[in-house]
Amino acid sequence: MTTRDQMLASIKANQPAMRPIPAQFTFTSVYPDLTQQFIDILTFVGGAALIVPDFAAIRASLQTQFPNMTSVATTCDELADLADVTMNVSDPHELSGLNLAIIEGPLAVAENAAIWVDERQLPQRVAPMITQYLVIIIRQSTIVPNMHDAYKLLKVDETGFGTFICGPSKTADIEQSLVIGAHGARSLMVYILP
């Protein structure tokens, strides 16, 4: 018998009698203002958000937030002129010098300020972690109340990789002092379009 077969046989012999999956495992969250809830939580976890009317406003804000920044890449056609490098590389190591990545997030969650991105938004999986600074553009209409709502809309294996991103990377491993910018992005700015 292979290890696999032995393990499975032992598991089968030892597992208890069948218990059903519970009927209720999704819940409803009610927030008076989904966008405000998202912004409040994002601020709490060290990110920042700005409600903007259009891409022109995003462009103006980016130019003040990141003046004269080089090694900027974006997947948004509307902001293509701000970029001087691309995330469309065959080897992810080529992104090691990336300073600013500007991507779009198709789905956001109000209860925890998490934004889903997958390979439809990411030319390379490592882009939102390897970049020094990260900007994600979302739309108010795609903010759902909680994680149950998010998974109802998501097909997690639609692409080979997807992740929920909530704020900039961080650690508190030295005496529980919060430090923003561990291995991933040092800041997360979220622009919220209508």
* Binders of another protein in range 112-141 (CB under 8 A): 112-114, 118, 124-126, 129-130
Nearer to another protein, 44 or 60 (CB): 44
Closest to 103 (Cα-Cα) out of 7, 16, 188: 188
Given 96, 120, 140, 194, the residue binding another protein (CB under 8 A): 96
Closest to 164 (Cα-Cα) out of 121, 122, 115, 118: 115
The type of residue at 169 is S
Window 168-187: residues binding another protein (CB under 8 A): 168-177, 179, 181-185
Least distance CB 99 / another protein (angstroms): 14
Instruction: Choose one: 52-60, 80-88, 100-108, 153-161; the region binding another protein (CB under 8 A).
Output: 153-161
Window 35-94: residues binding another protein (CB under 8 A): 41, 44-45, 92-93
Burial class (CB in 10 A: 0-12, 13-18, 19+), 30: exposed
Least distance CB 54 / another protein (angstroms): 29
Quote the DSSP letter at residue 21.
P
Q: Is 144 in the site for another protein (CB under 8 A)?
A: no
CA dist 86 and 80 (Å) reads 10
Bridge partners for 104 per DSSP: 137
